[in-house]
Amino acid sequence: MKTTDYHLLPFHFDQFNDKEILVNLFGDFLITEQGTAEKIVYRELTDESLIKDLVSNHFISESKYPADMDILATRYRTKKSFLEEFTALHIIVVTLNCNQACTYCQVSSINSTKNTCDISWEDVKKSVEMIFESPSQHITIEFQGGEPLLAFDKVKSAIEYAELLNKQHQKNISFVICSNAIGMNEVKLEYMKQHHVLLSTSLDGPGAIHNRNRKFHTDASYREVIKGINLSKSILGEENVSALMTTTIHSLPHPKEIIDEYRKQGFRNIFFREINPFGYAVNNHIADYSTDDFIRLYKEGFEYILELNRAGEVFIEDYAAILLRKILTPFSTGFVDLQSPAGIINSVLVYNYDGYVYVSDEARMMVEKGDHFFRIGHVNDGLKKIISGPKVAEIAKHWSNESLARCSDCAYQVYCGADPVRNYLKTGDMEGYRPESEFCHKNKTLIKYLIEKTLDPENYRIFQSWLAN
């Protein structure tokens, strides 16, 4: 093939340290010399080896229609396969009541054990019926609060009604309870074991950090959550208990200590998660840190995790594993924050304790501050009416990063997602403004960081082992 005799295939590019990165529609990337994209466009390539790499990696084609077009189409469909069955994750908020007073509470929970904000029996039934209207064959029902253990009778009712309906629908159902694990006991755990319910709890690090973040009486929060984790593992099995940390201003100096706490408790993974700008966190100093502060914490922790893996200990950072799956494989992920079209509605719906339906967990968090913008209906309406309504049609105009300003030509678009809810919260509209977007800044920085790490053969081997888990 002549150096000028080729056809362009869609790709994006960006400066990458002192070089240039090219990324195509399927997530394949090449690190090249600066100016390569310009040479490709203006037919100024002279390096035959580079031309072969560009052809084999689908940046250019020897023919107008590549011979493997069907394969490329399959690869693109695979990247978007989370859309095939529609909503798979369904979150039922069984109560707003809680037995903790966390300083960053995102849902503005009520510190009460009374049933004043519990979901009604009728709304439990309607929520489950609406969940089964989803065409997805794989359904996850997640119970949240407040503290769902305070309304465990409603959780049981939903589980048993779902199991009854599933005798007819024959879907693959998973159940998850998101709990602070305070108040967990053997009776509840035996029920969870019988019905194959997973537990997701919160652990922010060593006791000094956890107790400052998650208030329960005086300094009992850490003690109680560890007690709940150990009891849960003993009955449910270690593989059925997970924990999630939230980064606060108190976390920033201690990434290694937080990781070591997870190791101490027998976990083989951690998810470094930023604080969400919702609920009590908005006006609390605990959230007074920048995205760059979080990135420094993340990188320091990640380097430590790499050290552990090089020494033979398998320990995974979950957010990196999600991004690496998008970077190094042709597959999509179930992580709703990194999907385009956005995970809201397409992958998740939230059934609030008052029976109203929201597009995501973050969207219902806004409600407790009086903002109902992302309320799309009520469980009495049914799924078909809700998703075909004008509110969803309006949201759909802003949920694909392929059509958003500054996202549409971003080199890392295929690895990232769209977040209309956060855009709305920060800017007042669902489109957002990328130059000031913390979501954009964090993801671009971490994606570039991880791509650079993959260039080291030992890191690449470690990452492949993570993806095989």
Alpha-helix residue ranges (DSSP H) falling in 80-219: 121-131, 152-169, 186-194, 207-213
Burial, 215: exposed, middle or buried (Cβ in 10 Å; 0-12, 13-18, 19+)? middle
pLDDT of residue 282: 58
pLDDT of residue 220: 81
* Cis peptide, bond prior to residue 341, ω within 30 of zero: yes
- pLDDT at residue 387 is higher than 60: yes
What sign for the dihedral angle of Cα 425, 429, 431, 435? negative
pLDDT of residue 114: 54
pLDDT of residue 281: 54
In whole angstroms, what is the distance from residue 409 CA to residue 416 CA? 12
Domain 85-324+331-367 has CATH 3.40.720.10: no
pLDDT of residue 85: 83
Q: List the chain domain ranges.
A: 7-79, 85-324+331-367
In whole angstroms, what is the distance from residue 51 CA to residue 34 CA? 15
Reported as a single tens digit per residue, the pLDDT across 429-452 is: 999 999 999 999 999 999 999 999
Instruction: Summarize the chain as % helix, strand, coil (round to 5).
Output: 45, 15, 40
pLDDT of residue 284: 58
Reported as a single tens digit per residue, the pLDDT across 17-31 is: 999 999 999 999 999
Q: Which residue has better confidence, 345 or 115? A: 345
Band (231; pLDDT cuts 50, 70, 90): very high
Phi-psi region of 324 (alpha: psi -120 to 50; beta: other; left: phi over 0): alpha
In whole angstroms, what is the distance from residue 311 CA to residue 307 CA? 6
Residue 126 amino acid letter = K
pLDDT of residue 280: 57
In whole angstroms, what is the distance from residue 135 CA to residue 375 CA? 22
pLDDT mean over 75-91: 93
Q: What is the DSSP letter of 15?
A: E
pLDDT of residue 111: 57
Reported as a single tens digit per residue, the pLDDT across 285-318 is: 667 799 999 999 999 999 999 999 999 999 999 9
What pTM does this model have?
0.94
- pLDDT at residue 217 is higher than 60: no
- pLDDT at residue 189 is higher than 60: yes
Q: Are the C-beta atoms of residues 60 and 7 closer than 8 Å to each other?
A: yes
pLDDT of residue 88: 95
pLDDT mean over 374-395: 95
Between the alpha carbon of residue 269 and those of residues 33, 264, 305, 358, the distances in Å are 36, 12, 10, 30
Instruction: At 295, list the tokens.
Output: 């990135």
pLDDT mean over 112-117: 62
Angle (deg, nearest 10), helices 438-454 and 420-427: 130
In whole angstroms, what is the distance from residue 160 CA to residue 195 CA? 9
pLDDT of residue 401: 95
Instruction: At 360, list the tokens.
Output: 């995501």
- pLDDT at residue 254 is higher than 70: yes
Q: What is the DSSP letter of 108?
A: -
pLDDT of residue 5: 82
In whole angstroms, what is the distance from residue 448 CA to residue 100 CA? 38
pLDDT of residue 302: 98
Q: What is the DSSP letter of 234?
A: H
- pLDDT at residue 126 is higher than 80: yes
- pLDDT at residue 115 is higher than 60: no
- pLDDT at residue 271 is higher than 80: yes
Residue 354's φ and ψ, nearest 5 degrees, are -95, 5
Q: Which residue has better confidence, 386 or 361? A: 386
pLDDT of residue 370: 84
> Who's near 368: CB < 8 A, 6+ residues apart?
96, 107, 108, 279
Band (275; pLDDT cuts 50, 70, 90): confident
Highest mean pLDDT among 83-87, 106-110, 361-365, 459-463: 459-463
Reported as a single tens digit per residue, the pLDDT across 17-69 is: 999 999 999 999 999 999 999 999 999 999 999 999 999 999 999 998 888 89
Q: Which residue has better confidence, 320 or 109? A: 320
| Range 464-468 contact pairs with CB under 8 angstroms and sequence separation of 24 or more | 464/328, 465/309, 465/314, 466/316, 466/320, 466/321, 466/324, 467/321, 467/324, 467/325, 467/328, 467/329
pLDDT of residue 108: 53
Reported as a single tens digit per residue, the pLDDT across 178-188 is: 999 998 999 99
In whole angstroms, what is the distance from residue 238 CA to residue 416 CA? 31
pLDDT of residue 212: 86
Band (347; pLDDT cuts 50, 70, 90): very high
pLDDT of residue 361: 87
Band (109; pLDDT cuts 50, 70, 90): low
Band (270; pLDDT cuts 50, 70, 90): very high
- How high is the mean pLDDT of the chain? 92
